[in-house]
Chains A and B, each alone.
Chain A
């Protein structure tokens, strides 16, 4: 597809389970970002990749959160031992590498019961 693709679109999990969220950026986009958006809140920066390198991981809330990226392609955000406060929409965005325009995916709605 032409846009940023995220999967799954919705994920319901039980507290304590691990989840993996996937982001497929626009082809050719070297930069990839993960944000978290709680209900009615703004975008909380988690991590960004330039290629498969993550220069800034400062936004990851705890060591339960990790992310990786294969080359300049797919990225996965993993949340281990999920907690109820992890419930949010997780948005992925990609850009050409210059900070000009971020293209956002539709997000993954994560619900931790």
Chain B
């Protein structure tokens, strides 16, 4: 079983819609969770981090964490074509090793 699992997609949503990206993880001691965005041919960049159960909002982005169910999600409201990218879910068990899933490719259709 992979440590972090994501649906590879592509996930296609129309412009202005809500994009929902999901991630599950197997390591119950994971403490820190991250969403990175990677444009084609570019390096990943951090867009959200979350450490506590519940929701964390930053602009159009909301990260949701449920440790009991071992999943973390990312919602993108009012999706824009510029949001089209691969979204990588990552986690850390507290001693700094950061493990990523395979990423979900998001396509926002104008």
Contact of B96 among A41, A48, A91, A104 (CB under 8 A): A48
Report the stretch among B41-49, B53-61, B66-74, B76-84 that lies at the interface.
B41-49
Pick from B95, B97, B100 the residue with the most CB of A within 10 Å.
B97
- Overall SS of chain B's interface: strand
CA gap between A1 and B45 in the complex, in Å: 18
State whether A43 touches B97 (Cβ < 8 A).
Answer: no
Pick from A50, A99, A100, A102 the residue with the most CB of B within 10 Å.
A99
Residues of B within 8 A of A48 (CB): 96-98
Contact of B98 among A41, A55, A99, A107 (CB under 8 A): A99
Q: B-facing mask of A28-48, CB < 8 A → 1, else 0?
A: 000101010000011101001
Closest B residue to A35 using CB positions: B100
CA gap between A107 and B32 in the complex, in Å: 25
Closest B residue to A43 using CB positions: B100
On chain A, which size bracket covers the interface? Answer: 20 to 34
State whether A107 touches B99 (Cβ < 8 A).
Answer: no
CA gap between A37 and B92 in the complex, in Å: 19
State whether A105 touches B96 (Cβ < 8 A).
Answer: no
Q: Is A20 an interface residue (CB 8 A)?
A: no
State whether A91 touches B98 (Cβ < 8 A).
Answer: no
A110 CB to closest chain B CB (Å) equals 15
Contact of A42 among B34, B45, B88, B92 (CB under 8 A): B88
CA gap between A98 and B84 in the complex, in Å: 29
Residues of A within 8 A of B6 (CB): 42
A99 CB to closest chain B CB (Å) equals 4
Residues of A within 8 A of B43 (CB): 91, 104-107
CA gap between A106 and B38 in the complex, in Å: 11
Closest B residue to A58 using CB positions: B97
Interface, chain B (partner A; CB < 8 A): 6, 32, 34, 36, 43-46, 49, 88, 90, 92, 94-103
Interface, chain A (partner B; CB < 8 A): 31, 33, 35, 41-43, 45, 48, 50, 55-56, 91, 95, 97, 99-102, 104-107
